[in-house]
Structure 1
């Protein structure tokens, strides 16, 4: 399942908040394991998506290719969780 834009950002933000400190390579591998694709140059697509989240302090860049969780307001976290759940269900049903 191809993900881009808002859906990709939500998936990445959720994973970072669950795991803590992660690298771009870990994020790309996790997306692949979950059944999501981001297209060519996956590491660039992921880091570009995270730039938006860093600007809103939901994710914090701690070094080259390394990110950790930031602050997500409760209402935003709820909206993100709902969308991520829908995406995961769609990926599971698409694989079946």
Structure 2
């Protein structure tokens, strides 16, 4: 097969979060859901809690975005990372970024 007539880039972020004064899964949801909703609303990304669902004070959030422009995608991921890092109710312990370009398998 030849070159595709389009370019597609997929970027993902995985955030490992420590939550503040949270004593139940219900309280945890009240912290995590607004962050996910803001990411989706501001940047039109897919976002979800993807790990640590059974722990009150830890959360893993996943974010994914698709673009035809690598620079635009990098900018979106940077903005998402800054948004989560700036939230006072969580501490960002780690973030992992993956970037898939058109020549990746």
Same fold (TM over 0.5): no
Larger helix fraction of residues: 1
Higher relative contact order (CA 8 A, sep 6+): 2
Normalised by the size of structure 2, how large is the TM-score?
0.28
Larger strand fraction of residues: 2
